[in-house]
Amino acid sequence: MRHILLVCTGNTCRSPMAESMLADMARKAGKPLEVRSAGVAGIDGYPVSPHAAETLRRRNLPVPGPSQALSAKQIAWADVILAMTTSHKRLILERHPEAAGKTYTLKEFALQGEAEMDAVAEAERLYAEWQLQQAMGRKMAEADREKMLGLQRELPDFDIADPFGGSLTDYESCAEEIGAALRLVVDKLEEDDCPKETD
């Protein structure tokens, strides 16, 4: 069984909706997945937001139990980590470098194999190089900097919009956006797509 961790900001809106939706889709598709969620700025014990809970109930899906802050233990547990935004992904990798190679945005993972992903890989390589140069007190070569900025402007939007504080309609729209990406993820989760559990 593979372990999928879905991550958003507070673990009260997007990631719990995605958790419930992915678990249901995987079960219906016969994919052996265990799905959990957490928040990069989450606080343990908060309930799912009322609109997120209602959105799940309207789909006859269970409402996940209280919020959880992202932890090293969850990172170690996960075979694949799917963040709701590029910012979440970067925070995860900054705080947990051991998550490199298994952390993606939800939309990024869903689009693996698409032509846009070559530009994403190059932009991430240049971004990592820029961070390394900064850490060493050096400046990035101007040509690389311009290339990185150009690629970032051309990249598709990999963020799932945050419905926090919005209407029930905003949450429904968010769930539709999540669901569309998750359907692609479920299709991609074949036996060799994710590392297997080793313990």
In contact, 42 and 67? CB cutoff 8 Å: yes
Q: How far is CA 181 from CA 43, 57, 106, 124, in A?
A: 26, 20, 7, 21
Catalytic residue (one of 2, 13, 14, 36): 14
Query: What gap in Å lies between CA 7 and CA 116, rounded to an integer?
Result: 23
- Rg of the chain's alpha carbons, rounded to an integer? 17
Task: Decide if 102 contacts 79 (C-beta within 8 A).
Answer: yes
Is 13 a catalytic site residue?
no
Of the residues 8, 13, 174, 194, which is catalytic?
Answer: 8
Q: How big is the chain, counted in residues?
A: 199
Taking the C-alpha atoms of residue 139 and residue 92, their distance in angstroms, rounded to an integer, is: 25
Q: Is 36 in the active site?
A: no
Q: What residues act catalytically?
A: 8, 14
